Amino acid sequence: MDLHKIRLSNPQDLEYVLRRPLDAVNFLGPKDIFGTMKNCAQKITVHLYPVSLPSRRKQKCLLDYNKWNYHQVYLAIQDERIFACVGHGDTSAARERHNNLIDLFLQDKNLRDDVPTAVLATFKGTILASHLHRSYAYSNHDIGMNWDRSIIERLGSSRLPYSFHKYLSQVGDEVRFKARGRDVLVYRAARA
């Protein structure tokens, strides 16, 4: 599939990009991916929620990421190349990237309106459930960690949509998305 034909808001195209080998992805820092997203047509933020225990196995693609209970992936396609930046809670640097990107998006309403969000519940690289939102949303984990804690108050007053993953002892994994009073159940583990 040609990358210039990809539409990241299309679930099949998004899965195709997330399954590309990691050596086909150009990883950027927060400011670089933010700048790339401002200047390209194909961009999305992806909330990956693995519903299996974190694993140290080698990831072959972005969809394989299972280092923590959430990953927020910023994706852009420009000049036939895939660019990405990943934030998660496994390391202080990854938490800092996560908060830095949220902070950058808080400052740019036009880009927030222009970047869709996909929330995916995955199991060993397989998408179990998904939800697509038309604008930017953040993954509500580790907010303020390794960053300015005032971001919590700024997020609260911004009323930005967000997703989160939790484990319920009676049910198991659950992934939810909240936007302007709407609470969408994206995934809930089947009872045994």
Residue at token pair 């050596």? 23
> How does residue 147 score in pLDDT terms, banded at 50, 70 and 90?
low
Tell me how far apart the alpha carbons of residues 104 and 82 are, in angstroms, rounded to a whole number: 21
Tell me how far apart the alpha carbons of residues 158 and 48 are, in angstroms, rounded to a whole number: 23
With 70 as the cut, is the pLDDT of residue 93 above it?
yes
The whole-number pLDDT of residue 145 equals: 65
Tell me how far apart the alpha carbons of residues 5 and 7 are, in angstroms, rounded to a whole number: 7
Tell me how far apart the alpha carbons of residues 53 and 190 are, in angstroms, rounded to a whole number: 16
For every residue of 117-147, DSSP letters joined together read: EEEEEEETTEEEEEEEESS--EE-SSTTTTS
> How does residue 69 score in pLDDT terms, banded at 50, 70 and 90?
confident
Percent of the chain past pLDDT 70, that is, above it, reads 92
Q: Provide the 3-class DSSP secondary structure of residue 129.
A: strand
Query: Domain extents for the chain?
Result: 3-160
Tell me how far apart the alpha carbons of residues 24 and 102 are, in angstroms, rounded to a whole number: 25
Closest of 155, 127, 161 to residue 48, by C-alpha? 127
The whole-number pLDDT of residue 113 equals: 96
CB of 122 within 8 A of CB of 128? Answer: yes
Tell me how far apart the alpha carbons of residues 57 and 150 are, in angstroms, rounded to a whole number: 35
Cα within 13 Å of Cα(168), Cβ side = 12
Q: 98 has which bridge partners?
A: none
Closest of 59, 71, 81 to residue 139, by C-alpha? 71
Mean pLDDT of 115-140: 92
The whole-number pLDDT of residue 144 equals: 67
The whole-number pLDDT of residue 181 equals: 83
Mean pLDDT of 144-169: 79
The whole-number pLDDT of residue 46 equals: 95
Distance of CA 168 to the CA centre of its chain: 22
Closest of 156, 176, 154, 152 to residue 164, by C-alpha? 176
